[in-house]
Amino acid sequence: MPELDADLSTATADEAETVAAKEHDSVTQQVRFKTINRQLHLLLPPERDIVSEDGETAPALLWSDLLQQLQQRLTGTERFWEAQTPVYLQTSDRLIDVPQFVELGEALQEYNLKLKQVITYRRQTALNAVTAGLSVEQAVAKEPLKITTNVGVPSEDPLYLKMTVRAGMEIRHAGSVIIFGDVHAGAEIIADGDILVWGKLRGLAHAGARGNRLAVVMALSLYPTQLRIAEAIAMVDPPKTSFCPEVAFIDTNLLNLDGESGISIVKAVDYSKQFA
Amino acid sequence: MSRSIVVTSGKGGVGKTTTSANLGMALAKLGRKVVLVDADFGLRNLDLLLGLENRVVYTALEVIARECKLDQALVKDKRQPNLSLLAAPQTRNKTAITAAHMKALVEVLSRHFDYVLVDCPAGIETGFHNAIAGAKEAIIVTTPEISAVRDADRVIGLLEANRIKDIKLIVNRLRPAMVKNNDMMSVEDILEILSIKLLGVIPEDEQVIVSTNKGEPLVLSEKLPLAGIAYENTAKRLEGMDIPLLDLNASSGSVLSRLQRWLTGKS
């Protein structure tokens, strides 16, 4: 069986690389809330496909998917905002028509947020925003026409969501992700930084998705379908005791048969005194 | 106050339509005015289960196209006049209507009925999005299988993202004997995974197949089989009554022992 084993191991390694690359690309294809200069900005992903340096494409988000994502983010973050907080909408290059502006406004209003201003560098979107009764700031196109994912970009502020992440949901973030709730099997959390789940982690978790081997995954109950840190992949045994918060990290002191360090899991109470 | 509830599951074949028919009939028996809306366009089944197939003249499509009036398209059940059916077109597919149509339809219906129950198609595509458009609440039907439960979880997430927050669970086709032997997921296992409110548990029952083929919902039987009682209890819980779950293990005993248990009040 040694031959087969060797094949398998290379296959896994290849897979891991492509997976990591893909996730890197589509990081920006997500609806995001961001506080800029004490204002709440809603950032929509661009309307075109994102092409990475190695030619892989992350397809643009459909409007219906975009709305769905927005709803999810609103559910997860709702309690952080005061009533009628104004929202500044950054549409990048998206063409948004009047009914779509109305839809966005209604979705935000449902969570007591007020769509205040639209920031766009697309003339038609600006006109539509005015028709929908919104104030507009015409921005200058800063982004290059062909968006490429570049190295050396600082990571985003942590994304803090209070929600149950259910099967089929995907949370991607170019920083650390904190989930106050459970992550069910069939869900995916992909973060460039750490992943902290204050609840049960049962889905797939990928920390350090852009290759940061120092990233960690921690959960009150750590039993993900699959665990990835940077390019390392691990399958996890069920926790031995019913309540056992744990931390997963790449332990550089431990080497596997290939001479690489893999993912280790320790009890949360032991992590800081032994490894930090 | 009228309630509009979508019955959905994600996975096919778990008993959405059977549940819609029986729940609707049970609510009607409790004196509520109920309309069942078949949202499974192109694959309509609800009229068959209710035995109303030959009485369908107009469908939701004609109502939307304003080719008939709404009350012309509503088929009133002769056995239980509190129950009406709005059938789905047989010949068209799911693109025949839009979410806005469905929303308007449910809105109008809820002015005339206490309950609008929408029978959702399987899957999470257009048909699903149309079916949930008008609903304020949802009932998830699942069977004790890992695939059905996973799909249910996905659907709950989608419902929440579409602003339907009142979601309750019906576990269908449970086999208590298998659960006892650890060969089947228990209701507790399912609740642990899905973490939503439980509305009812329906045991596996051959009578369901018989009643389906006869076009007569289980809850209309003179002598209610266990699954029929479970559906009635589920309907009562939906009405807000505090009805404990059936002791399903009792069914394995003889009639005499069940009677004895019932008389002595011990389970």
Q: What is the pLDDT of residues A125-135, one digit of tens each?
A: 988 998 888 88
Which carries the bigger pLDDT value, residue B165 or residue A61? B165
Secondary structure class of A63 (helix, strand, coil): helix
Contacts A64 to B, Cβ<8 Å:
129
Count chain A–chain B contacts defined by CB atoms under 8 A. 41
The predicted structure's pLDDT at residue A220 = 95
Burial of B108 (0-12, 13-18, 19+ CB in 10 A): middle
Closest CA to B255 of B218, B223, B228: B223
Q: Give yes or no for a contact between B202 and B169, defined as CB atoms under 8 angstroms apart.
A: no
- Looking at residue A183, what DSSP letter applies? B
Model confidence at A38: pLDDT above 50: yes
CB contact under 8 A, B150 and A167: yes
Model confidence at A56: pLDDT above 80: no
Q: How many CB atoms lie within 10 A of CB A242?
A: 6
pLDDT digit string, tens, across residues A82-124? 888 899 999 878 899 999 999 999 989 988 899 989 998 888 8
The predicted structure's pLDDT at residue A13 = 38
Tokens standing for residue B175: 């086999």
CB contact under 8 A, B157 and A110: no
Instruction: Tell which of A184, A201, A221 to mutate to test the B interface (max B CBs under 10 Å).
Output: A184
pLDDT band at A238 (very low <50, low <70, confident <90, very high): confident
A239, amino acid identity: P
Model confidence at A26: pLDDT above 50: no
Q: Give yes or no for a contact between B205 and B175, defined as CB atoms under 8 angstroms apart.
A: no
pLDDT band at A153 (very low <50, low <70, confident <90, very high): low
| Runs of H (alpha helix) within chain A | 2-26, 63-77, 98-110, 123-131, 268-274
Closest CA to A197 of A231, A239, A247: A247
Distances (CA, A) of B184 to A179, B7, B79, B80, B180: 31, 24, 37, 36, 8
Rg (CA), chain A: 21
Contacts of B165 (CB under 8 A, 6+ apart): none
Model confidence at A53: pLDDT above 80: no
d(CA A24, CA A27): 6
The predicted structure's pLDDT at residue A55 = 61
CB contact under 8 A, A166 and B153: yes
Whether the CB of B153 is below 8 Å from some CB of chain A: the reply is yes
Mean pLDDT of chain A: 81
Q: Give yes or no for a contact between B36 and B20, defined as CB atoms under 8 angstroms apart.
A: yes
Tokens standing for residue A135: 């104030």
Distance of CA A243 to the CA centre of its chain: 27
Buried b (16+ CB within 10 A) or exposed e, A151-174: eeeeebeebebbbbbbbbbbbbbb
The predicted structure's pLDDT at residue A91 = 87
**Does ipTM exceed 0.90?**
no
Q: For A156-162, what is the mean pLDDT?
A: 89
d(CA B8, CA A20): 35
Q: For A126-154, what is the mean pLDDT?
A: 69
Model confidence at A7: pLDDT above 60: no
Secondary structure class of A117 (helix, strand, coil): strand
Model confidence at A3: pLDDT above 70: no
Q: For A156-176, what is the mean pLDDT?
A: 91
The predicted structure's pLDDT at residue B55 = 94
The pLDDT profile of chain B, 267 residues, written as one tens digit per residue, is: 899 999 999 999 999 999 999 999 999 999 999 999 999 988 889 999 999 999 999 999 999 989 999 999 999 999 999 999 999 988 777 677 899 999 999 999 999 999 999 999 999 998 999 999 999 999 999 999 999 999 999 999 999 988 899 999 999 999 999 999 999 999 999 999 999 999 999 999 999 999 999 999 999 998 999 999 999 999 999 999 999 998 887 555 555 555 555 666 544
Q: Pick A164's closest partner by Cβ from B154, B162, B195.
A: B195
Instruction: Tell which of B9, B124, B128, B163 to mutate to test the A interface (max A CBs under 10 Å).
Output: B163
Q: Name the helix (H) or strand (E) containing B111.
A: helix B99-112
Model confidence at A150: pLDDT above 90: no
- Looking at residue B254, what DSSP letter applies? -
For chain A, give the number of residues.
276
